[in-house]
Amino acid sequence: MLNKILIYFPNTEEYNFTPPYESLFQIKALEDFADKIIFIDARKSNDNNFIKQALSDVSIVIISTLIKYTSITISFQLKDGIKFSKLAESFSLPVIWTGMAAYLLENNIKAFCTNDLFLKTNYEGSLKNIIFKLSKSDNNSDLQKWVEEENKHCFLPSKSFEDFGNFDFKSIKTKDYIHHSTFDYIISTGCINSCSFCSVPAIYKQKWDHNKIENIINHLKEIISENKEIKTIHFRDDNFLIKKSFVFKLFHELQKENINFLWSCQTSVNILLRFKDEEIQQLYKYGCRNISFGVESGDKFILQKVTKSKTNKLQAIELIKTLTKHNLSVSITSIISFQYNKGRDFNKTLRFLMKLKLLYPQLSMYCTVFQPIPGTEIFNEIFKNKNYSLEPLANNTWTSKRKKRILKKYESFYFVFDNKNFYKQLPKELSKK
């Protein structure tokens, strides 16, 4: 007999505020078992008594990790997920991992949780199939076999959207996920680029797919009408602007429904280059106020080797110029201190960021020391069969503390000043320096 099903979304240690979309997809897939589902987002609930009571009443635990988009926060989810799995083990419960951790980090988790199972398909229907079989069984002795059967299927992100893209937000309080008057929403999965530092191509194999427009409209209508404090929707897709025709059709339909809002998104240089001036102007008319993209590095060698030439410095500068001309604010991200090129990218990237800040003082910048993510092309090249740390941000062993201090100084000075003539306001001797 199937008791309750516990879906657990591990903690990201305040590094991520996006709603647990992977779990929402799964809850939709398991709607036939809706009365049996207990959902816990560890970022929002840490009541140990409630958790222990829940574990005493369930048949199976699903640890649901990031996969609809991916980031370094998976390191924190990995640690918390292992901790929760150990707790579930003390209740003699079977545990299935899903999402990015299941696909990329199976060996790491098995070192601590030898009995856990790993569902490595991106189709939530696979989880539905397993739970259905479990509900018809007197015990879970065949659980491993059922998981292995589902793992034979390839990733089916388009079918997942087709079947479960009309998920709802009833399992969470949307207000809990509003930060700085912004709500993160996703309409798509994957990316067509092949950057070797990124986990997205490792998972989605350079494929991209989107939810149905009718589902997106229903979601946004609900979110905005129920949360008047939201001022901006941030499309937290890996690469929001990949398909121009879809983007323009979406916002055309939203306007027809009189659903208007300001929004921001993330994309990449090679995608933005496809947009003509008048199309960027149209994005502004549709409510876009900020576009974020990665300049990635100021080192030509790194750009060619790591981003596969999806961007170059001149293109980035021209795009910033074009976007600001149309009154769009721009945020750029970059990665520093790769293990190649004898570390020369460190100074080159900082110089490039200084140049951009002087050209465009209002530019928002974020630069991070490169951290190899398990499963990525670069990670496999660096570590191969070597051991590595499960501690977040610990696997870049070649960047000295001195360099990290230098980056910190840049972050607190060059990245924040907003007037390229600021030195004129200082005492004469200091302004010369």
Query: Is 60 exceeded by the pLDDT of residue 265?
Result: yes
The pair of three-digit structure tokens given for residue 414, joined into one six-digit string: 């060059």
| DSSP assignment string, 294-360 | EEE-S-HHHHHHHSTTS--HHHHHHHHHHHHHTT-EEEEEEEE--SSGGGTHHHHHHHHHHHHHHH-
CB 177 within 8 A of CB 17: yes
3-state class of 249 per DSSP?
Answer: helix
Query: Is 70 exceeded by the pLDDT of residue 69?
Result: no
What pLDDT was estimated at residue 62?
98
Q: What are phi and psi of 282, to 5 degrees?
A: -70, -35
The pair of three-digit structure tokens given for residue 73, joined into one six-digit string: 């926060």
Query: Is 90 exceeded by the pLDDT of residue 343?
Result: no
Which among 113, 333, 105 is positioned nearest to 203, based on CA atoms? Answer: 105
3-state class of 185 per DSSP?
Answer: strand
In this structure, of 184-188, 277-281, 340-344, the range with the lowest mean pLDDT score is 340-344
Q: Which residues contact 426 (CB under 8 A, 6 or more apart)?
A: none
The pair of three-digit structure tokens given for residue 198, joined into one six-digit string: 């990124």
Read off the pLDDT band of 390 (50, 70, 90): low
Condensed to tens digits (0 to 9), the pLDDT of residues 162-175 reads: 899 999 999 999 99
CB 283 within 8 A of CB 327: no
Stated pTM of the model? 0.91
Condensed to tens digits (0 to 9), the pLDDT of residues 406-429 reads: 998 888 777 766 566 666 766 777
Name the helix (H) or strand (E) containing 60: strand 58-64
CB 223 within 8 A of CB 230: yes
Which among 186, 89, 188, 94 is positioned nearest to 134, based on CA atoms? Answer: 94
In this structure, of 17-21, 181-185, 277-281, 393-397, the range with the lowest mean pLDDT score is 393-397
Rg (CA), the chain: 23
CA-to-CA distance for 397 and 341, rounded, in angstroms? 16
- DSSP code of 37? E
CA-to-CA distance for 115 and 288, rounded, in angstroms? 48
What pLDDT was estimated at residue 403?
93
Q: What are phi and psi of 162, to 5 degrees?
A: -60, -40
CA-to-CA distance for 289 and 317, rounded, in angstroms? 18
Which among 198, 334, 220 is positioned nearest to 286, based on CA atoms? Answer: 220
In this structure, of 5-14, 96-105, 387-396, the range with the lowest mean pLDDT score is 387-396
Cβ count within 10 A of residue 107? 9
Average pLDDT, the chain: 91
What pLDDT was estimated at residue 156?
57
CB 67 within 8 A of CB 203: yes
CA-to-CA distance for 157 and 188, rounded, in angstroms? 9
| DSSP assignment string, 136-188 | TSSSSTTHHHHHHHHHTSPP-HHHHHHHHTT--STTS-GGGGEETTEEEE--E
Query: Is 80 exceeded by the pLDDT of residue 270?
Result: yes
- DSSP code of 73? T
The pair of three-digit structure tokens given for residue 223, joined into one six-digit string: 């979110």
Q: What are phi and psi of 367, to 5 degrees?
A: -130, 135
Between 67 and 158, name the one with better pLDDT: 67
CA-to-CA distance for 273 and 271, rounded, in angstroms? 5
Helix axes 313-325, 277-285, angle to 10 degrees: 50
